[in-house]
Amino acid sequence: MAAFFLAIIFRANRAAALIGSILTNTWISLLSFILAVKAGAWLFGVNWQAIKTTWGSLRANFSWGQLFEASFIKTLLPVAAGYIIIAALSAVLAYAVSLLTVSGVRRYARRNKKSMA
């Protein structure tokens, strides 16, 4: 809701602010992580559970030196690719929902304007 009110104050796109805040919600992020791991694993042809397990251990025992290790890169690439796929699909879905909503509201406004005239 904060994004919506800030969009009103700064005269930004309220629909984009609301949809963006819903898509980046913490609970949705947990779901999108699993979907990203599965999509990236499918794209790279590896087991998604192995990537998820490796990601969890890398995150728990993180050190800056790990960024250059092959195991980290082999885990990071499928996850990053999965997030790109999920982001693209989310963007297309958000665009479609926004387009349908805006066109529906405009159609409703035009009907009411004609009936009041």
State the pLDDT at residue 45.
92
Domain layout of the chain by residue ranges: 20-116
Q: What is the pLDDT of residue 97?
A: 87
pLDDT of residue 116: 66
Residues 85 and 40 sit within 8 Å (Cβ to Cβ):
yes
Residue 40 pLDDT: 93
Q: Which of 28, 24, 36, 20 is nearest to 81 (CA)?
A: 36
pLDDT tens digits in sequence order for the chain, 117 residues long:
788 888 889 988 888 888 778 777 777 788 888 899 999 999 999 998 988 888 888 778 877 777 777 777 888 899 999 999 998 998 898 889 889 988 998 999 888 877 665
Measured distance CA(26)–CA(111) in Å, rounded = 39
In whole angstroms, give the CA distance from residue 76 to residue 36.
11
